[in-house]
Structure 1
């Protein structure tokens, strides 16, 4: 049954495609495909229900945390999951099987998110804000372990030209569950959803990582070559030499650093909605529904396109996010009547969700297809660490500027996104 479903989803009519994986791994592709899909569906659901751009932003505002702390949660979560990767890559390279690193990371993420539910039930104001930031830091460090190993495992178990579709189907299926969660929040808003409801939502989000860890442990992973020379290449400076010696990789990192607008602008859309429309809980439901519908509609399209040209997916997606950001700046700055319309913000978040989904799927597919073997772990660790450091700087500056003007932050990030679209388009096509 899995074999037939796999062939149907990937449009395989004859012999199974096993490009860029071993013969042993080829025999278990359908099983591993659906294990990864199901496991990632749960983590995607958990990500949405505890998303710093929507739910955590909303929660921190609900408990009256300072705006500058709210502005920091996205860069801290994203950079915290990236910066440590260059330091742990060498240790991971010494192990021939790596799925257990992912499982351990998922369990720690479960504990970190559950702690946020406890915090919002017991603390308010700055205290709650700082404690949530601490939990997000722990979550991010665990996420770095899972993020680094997940791309390596996909590269070992799923053939090239099938990886983009796997990511697309994953996001699409999780989008259905996210849509249901958004509808539930809207329903509860009629009875004035309390902080208890939101904390239970966080507890449920935490549980998804525990379920995902159990599922992921069932992957059939075959040992790969161990990097015996990792001690000689383990220091930070030597790994950074990849940026000097590998032109294609360097250009990818530059392009990716300019794609951050789709991630960094998202919480500001939520803050603008709270500022000009209000803090009614139905709005949070609309934001989550918008994200879910965006995933359902766009992910299969992005996935199929990424298997043909992932660099074009990056370029098109960030272009959409950038144009949207410029339009929002114009509306907020010059059209006072329009900026108080409540549906403007969920609609914008829906479009941003489509764009950000394309950016994420495109860049993940690109780096997996660009590298081979242990090179993949080095590529991922170096690029994520560099992007994490850039996120810390740009996120900190954005948090400061947001104290003066939120719409200015969106405009600046969107302009960088336009440059990123051009740089992405110039990258070589690695799928051929």
Structure 2
């Protein structure tokens, strides 16, 4: 292992207004108190906090504007692309961003400064989404569908690079018990934008959105990723350890050995795998709402409103709670998602009238969104706080690769919905969420000194 330990002169403290705003947001009485980052990083932590906040907020808003579950699927339909191609978007976007990360992490470990991987990944996502916007203006039918699928592959690979680098850089520049708060505020801001988008769609009534509307939406998302990349270049990152001799494949196989030798990490991956059900369940709630309603744009806007409201209301709370105990956040979020799904299954099968209205499904999606936000923030905070500087990139890559493979296997729930009904698929995923809550209870506390 090669350790880059030569220290440059300590950077100056950020301007006092930046420090005061940081202290007000985080509740710190002294911004210089840091738990697990170098002194040089601690001195500039208030500035680093806002650089992370702005960059992460911009990319999260971009994610909402280019959502594969809603925006890209509707764009496919508007362009007349085959439905089979539309069905590839979510698996490619999610699994494609996760599965290659072992190879990426092994490569990243050779670089003492890793923020540039995040920056190039953000630029790659911007170019892919901009290409989608141009596709909306120039192509139709199967040609448009294939181009959108190909650009989704590019997007996913760039996203994978950013994902590995982001947690590593976050762990080097932001102290423990501040990371969950940071991610919570970024998620809340993105949720607020989603809320406004949903409100606008709801007010359109039965109007249809044309290709030009989607093009503007996607080009705006691309601009946000470029903004995030530009802001992130100003982050002051302390050079860190480099290690892992040999080629990327060798290091990837060695990293997979963590699942056998590292019991706490193995329990975390199992918990995350079970709680993955909260992500898989959301499209089935949307499908159920479409089956029970008229499928109009106003109904879609109502669901987007619910999604945005869920993030805005819950993310800051989940973030702060995660800084206290991310294990308990995972337990609570898994339980909430599981109980909701069982209740929805019973209400739908009993034919309860009020439970079949668009407003009821918006409420269901709101609760589901709150639960999923808790899972996302809880598992991200748990992983970053559990890991060390030496293990953080490998932990992230191994867990993401395993989850990526399982996401592809999660397509079986589509068959369950087709053969046994959408409500039954929701029930099956809800039982997995409850199992995830039980598994989270077996995790150790990582927020305690």
Is 1:161 matched up with 2:177?
yes
Instruction: Pick the aligned partner of 1:323 from 339, 353, 366.
Output: 339
Number of equivalenced pairs: 431
CA distance in 2, matches of 1:227, 1:237: 15
Question: Hey, what does 1:51 align to over in structure 2?
Answer: 67
In structure 2, the partner of 1:280 is 296
**How far apart are 1:287 and its partner, in Å?**
2.1
In the other structure, the counterpart of 1:244 is 260
* TM-score calculated relative to the size of structure 2: 0.90
CA apart distance, 1:128: 4.2
CA distance in 1, matches of 2:393, 2:88: 28
Native 8 Å contact 2:245 2:251 kept in 1: no
Indicate conservation of the 8 Å contact 1:54/1:287, yes or no. no
Structure 2 matches for 1:203-222, cutoff 5 A?
203-222=219-238
Distance change in 2, residues 1:272/1:365 (3 Å): same
Match of 1:364 among 380, 384, 404: 380
Once the 2 structures are TM-superposed, how far is the Cα of residue 122 of structure 1 from its aligned partner? 4.7
Q: CA deviation at 1:118?
A: 3.2
1:375 equivalent in alignment to 2:402: no
For residues 61-76 of structure 1, what are the structure 2 equivalents within 5 Å?
61-63=77-79, 69-76=85-92
Distance 1:367 1:5 in 2: 27
Q: Which residue of 1 aligns with 2:162?
A: 146
Asked if 1:311 corresponds to 2:311, the answer is: no
Distance in 2, Cα, partners of 1:5 & 1:116:
38
- Are residues 1:186 and 2:202 paired? yes
For the residues of structure 2 that align with 1:401 and 1:66, how far apart are their CA atoms? 22
Counterpart of 2:414 in structure 1 is 399
Q: Which runs of 5+ in 1 are unaligned?
A: none
CA RMSD of aligned residues (A): 2.1
Which residue of 1 is the match for residue 103 of structure 2? 87
2:245 paired residue number: 229
Q: Which moved more, 1:65-74 or 1:5-14?
A: 65-74
**Distance apart, 1:25 and its partner CA:** 0.5
1:331 and 1:339 in contact (8 A); partners too: yes
Deviations 1:272-315 (A, max 9, x none): 22222123222222222212211121111101110111111111
Of residues 292, 304, 311 in structure 2, which corresponds to 1:295?
Answer: 311
Deviates more, 1:167-176 or 1:215-224: 167-176
Superposition deviation, residue 351 in structure 1: 1.1
Residue 36 of structure 2: which of 10, 17, 20 is its match?
20
CA contact (8 A) 1:57 1:270 kept: no
Measure the CA separation in 1 of the matches of 2:352 and 2:142: 32
* Greater Cα shift, 241-250 or 291-300: 291-300
Q: Which residue is equivalent to 1:5? A: 21
Change (3 A) 1:384 1:54: same
Post-superposition CA distance 1:76-127 (Å, at most 9, x none): 2111111101011111000000111111111111121222233344555555
CA distance in 1, matches of 2:291, 2:85: 17
Tell me the TM-score normalized by structure 1.
0.93
CA-CA distance at 1:61 after TM superposition = 4.4
Q: CA deviation at 1:134?
A: 2.4
Q: Distance in 2 between matches of 1:400 and 1:125?
A: 26
In structure 1, distance between residues paired with 2:303 and 2:224: 20
Preserved CA contact (<8 Å) 1:58 1:284: no
Deviation for aligned residue 1:424: 0.8
* C-alpha displacement of 1:30: 0.4
CA distance in 2, matches of 1:122, 1:272: 33
Quick one: structure 1 residues 152 and 343, their matched pair in 2 at CA, closer, same or farther if it must change by over 3 Å?
A: same
Higher relative contact order (CA 8 A, sep 6+): 1
What's the CA shift string for 1:368-412, capped at 9, x where partnerless? 000111210011011110111111111x21233333332222221
Q: In structure 2, list runs of 5 or more residues that go unmatched.
A: 1-16
